Amino acid sequence: MMPGRRERGLVRPYVVTDGRAHPTRNTFDLVTLVIAVEPSSVVGLSPEKHRLVELCRGGVLSVAEVAGRLALPISIVKVLLGDLVDSGHVATRAPIPPAQLPEAKLLREVLDGLRAHF
């Protein structure tokens, strides 16, 4: 190996996903939100799936954040997520669309009202 080059895991991505290139559910994008379902046993899960579930127990993360924190390619994370959704270990949902978020002006008015009251 060349000096200064990061060592990579010895396990190839297709081994991690049992040779699959696509998730069973093709509904994940980079901003899909993921959270671990409580309580879910991680007994019998592969090391990568176990790490993914444990990571998501800390709160809601996007698919991109999960991939970054686990240092795995997005495509691998999507396959693992599909398996974990199917097995009931994690739940996913789309982020709130910007059109449904309250406007900044309304939030400022609420904050001003709360400050005036307290």
Confidence of residue 117 (pLDDT cuts 50, 70, 90): confident
Q: Is residue 8 part of a domain?
A: no
Q: How far apart are CA 111 and CA 97, in angstroms?
A: 23
Q: Is residue 64 part of a domain?
A: yes
**Mean pLDDT to the nearest integer, 37-66:** 88
Q: Is residue 5 part of a domain?
A: no
Q: Is residue 58 part of a domain?
A: yes
**Mean pLDDT to the nearest integer, 2-8:** 48
With a cut of 70, say whether residue 13 has pLDDT above it: no
With a cut of 80, say whether residue 60 has pLDDT above it: yes
With a cut of 70, say whether residue 21 has pLDDT above it: no
CATH number, domain containing residue 33: 1.10.10
Domain with 22 in it: 13-117
**In the chain, what is the greatest distance between 2 CA atoms, to the nearest angstrom?**
66
Q: Is residue 1 part of a domain?
A: no
* Pairing status of strand 33-36 against strand 90-93: antiparallel
Classify each residue of 54-70 as buried b or exposed e, where b means 16 or more C-beta atoms within 10 Å of its C-beta.
Answer: ebbeeeebbbebbbeee
**Mean pLDDT to the nearest integer, 96-117:** 83
Whole-number average pLDDT of the chain: 82
pLDDT at residue number 14: 64
Q: What is the pTM of this model?
A: 0.67
With a cut of 70, say whether residue 88 has pLDDT above it: yes
pLDDT at residue number 5: 44
Q: Is residue 113 part of a domain?
A: yes
Q: Is residue 34 part of a domain?
A: yes
